[in-house]
A and B are shown apart, each in its own frame.
Chain A
């Protein structure tokens, strides 16, 4: 009983959202505190053998603070295969011609796409390795675009022969092609992606535009390459890529990258990512076991909700820690 009296007294002068820590002497006191918190709308954050930490009030839902398009699950990434015709030196997924194919497969993609709208997904993004390596990419794209607006990431280098025919058969209205290009001239792009790749990528952009697709160009810039951005944007303007379809992102220290921004589940707002191996926190961590959330892709809504719950937990824990240790 004493622990309840202490909780009432201390929390009455504690601001909403702040925490208090009280000593306890028995596990029963922690259980009693948990029951009291449940009843009174407060939150037991931690309990061990000697103390409990309680937050005044319920934690806010950090997801409601995010714009709808950034809420976990709004964007659903699908890693279609992992193998690639290139071996970029900063690839976050360790993709290369030597990488074994780990394909999601048409059947699973169809099942995911069918369940995605009801699970709150607003957009599907397909990435590889290089998706155009797959012989059944047309079926994958058809399944996704039938369900939701879809973005297909590619290096744009394989638009010829049968693969060009696959491209030409894809729907224009619900599909955006996102092609990677890191610089306005070949040197920087080729230094990361291989000699001659810049010329082929630019040719791919022109083919896609000529075929009537909406084309988004995404650049990955290292710290050294930041000065390239202005020239790149001018070049993309000249190609006819609208500014809203010019995406410049920093290099992530993931996969085979030697440098880049450190990204962890604690610092990343999740973008649910599905590979053949399971459900991951974010596409930059799709080859990182620390970002594996669950191996169970289905039911899709449960997998997405699990990511949301973990995000809430991380954020609320971080907020509580920040309140508990304010910098004087």
Chain B
């Protein structure tokens, strides 16, 4: 049988439905691939070999018994370590949660299990999803499978690296400022941030509650749509969950017709600071969409330039409050409990030992932004800027159906390059942050390799709230046109990793 790890989720699903492969075989093939290459990629923090094979065997048994199964039943998946899975270590990339085994499943995990999706293990990430490179993980950096000396993006670098290293066909990420889309762009894969509230935050270890959004990562648009459909929809356990039908994402991914679609190129997301190879691939993709019948115009969103500063006030403010729960009392690391130290001292010592630099920076920044005397100038003003950014989107969507930009200003940078320069690191997310602030749906699709470095470039699509289907329409159109041009999908150009036998 041809290599099961090179198949898409949709192809694996067909193979299993027609009994040409079992889920145990498919799962074992991916576990073998992880054993062979993860020593150099380091995408996984925990591989749940036993649990995954048990889930796979259960799906096979149901299929043998003739039970009706969902479209992704038996397909393996890599789960970002920020979502709880009962009994499986969950760290959010932090020392403060080392060894913690959650006593409950997040809603996303519940839905994955209900769909028969096999969870292979937990993927690496920047600590508490704070970062754009996975270098802020307390457990070491993940390496980009396209070039192991480069970062895979972040915070969900482990999830995107896992799928681009053929360790899993599907992965789950979470996107607060670009943590699904930026790693997708850097690894030549698809990353989708659904509409805020379109996927449940229950059991997602919170970074910024008004921004956090779980979503799908995959190698193809259709696979991402199938996973999106499996995890999305109203959840009474999340008070900000949207009680509406899931947009028809799978139908859109299968259709991919952009004729007559009005596409706006965001004027402010390009030019100075953007790598020439990124801009070249982006503009070629726009031309391709024009040839396919889309109407392309330039659109101005004048307040987007203030999205980054507003975000770095809103996010740390919410994070400083959310992370107050790590107090060393009920779970997680406890340091200095020697019988004489007070609870307050133990909390302070535990947080010093358990949190990394970036987490400390952001908690202190958030505490500052919320403190009396500064609140109006910082947090209050940032919330007003948030309104202006949302209004830019509303105005733009009066003229066009979707907005587009490069997903990131540059391709993946070298490990160590920006880790001591927080501001250079933050600028990775220039293009992705506005959609988090406004809550709309957005995605990154692979659109080629930059000439300078041969690394993947992401094409960013932003659709109105609850029009997630439009992302897939554009992504599918672009994917098939590019595959025709290249004679295959972008991932087929990825270099072969050295296999450890």
- Real complex partners, A and B? no
User: Chain B interface (Cβ within 8 Å of chain A)?
Assistant: none
